[in-house]
Amino acid sequence: MTEKTITSPCSPGDTLWAIVGDQVRLCKVEKLAIYVREAACFISLDIVFVAPNPFVRGQEKTYNQFAILGHREPGYRAAYPTKEEAEQALAKEGPDFR
């Protein structure tokens, strides 16, 4: 068995910035999960954010979704430590309409 130390990039309760559609929204980390595979370590986040409700015009709702810090992956939102980083990623990669 190999022993390794994994440093977490954030903790539950931290606030991050997520790309939500064509906007950058403040989000809170609810939980993080660390997956260890032979080739690499993978950290996913459960984030909570408030955004417009697509079914009721003018209302907002709370969303719980999975995210990865710093980049997009299918099935995950992208979350960033600063608003500036999130805005740069949005400008570079375009909106995320998942």
In this predicted model, what pLDDT tens digit does every residue of 50-82 receive, in sequence order? 999 889 999 999 999 999 999 888 889 999 999
**Which pTM value belongs to this model?**
0.84
Question: What one-letter code names the amino acid at 56?
Answer: V
Give residue 59's domain range: 15-93
Structure tokens at 79: 């979350």
Q: Quick one: residue 70, left, alpha or beta (phi over 0 = left, psi -120 to 50 = alpha)?
A: left
Per-residue pLDDT of 36-46, as tens digits, reads 887 878 889 99
- Residue 9, domain member (yes or no): no
For residue 44, is it within any domain? yes
Domains contained in the chain, number: 1
Instruction: With respect to residue 1, please indicate whether it lies within any of the assigned structural domains.
Output: no
Domain annotation covers residue 50: yes
Q: Is residue 98 a part of any domain in this protein?
A: no
Q: Going by C-beta distance under 8 Å and a sequence separation of 6 or more, which residues neighbour residue 95?
A: 19, 21, 22
Q: Is residue 10 situated within a structural domain?
A: no
The DSSP-derived string for 27-47 is EEEEEEEEEE-SS-EEEEEEE
Instruction: Give me the half-sphere count of Cα atoms (radius 13 Å) on the Cβ side of residue 34.
Output: 12
